[in-house]
Amino acid sequence: MKDKVVIITGASSGIGKALAIEFAGRGAKVVIASRSFPKLEELNNKLVLKGTESLPIVADVSSEADCRNLITETIKRFGKIDILINNAGISMRALFEDCDLDVIRRLMDVNFWGTVYCTKYALPYLLDSKGSVVGVISIAGYIGLPGRTGYSASKFAIRGFLDTIRVENLKKDLHVLVVAPGFTASNIRNVALTAEGTPQGETPRDESAMMSAETVAYKIANAIKTRKSSLILTFLEGKLTVFLSKWFPRWLDYLSYKHMAKEPNSPFK
7: CB partners within 8 A, 6+ apart: 30, 31, 33, 70, 71, 74, 81, 83, 84, 85, 118, 122
151 is catalytic: yes
CA 246, chain centre distance (Å)? 23
Geometric angle at alpha carbon 28, from 167 and 127, rounded to 5°? 25
Backbone angles phi, psi at 211, to 5 degrees: -65, 140
Could you say which of 117, 151, 218, 254 is catalytic?
A: 151
User: DSSP 3-state assignment of 193?
Assistant: strand
CB 266 within 8 A of CB 204: yes
CA distance 117 to 112: 9
Strand order from edge to edge, sheet including 5-9: 54-58, 29-34, 5-9, 83-86, 132-136, 175-180, 230-232
User: Dihedral through CA 248, CA 254, CA 257, CA 261, nearest 10?
Assistant: -140
Residue numbers annotated as active site: 151
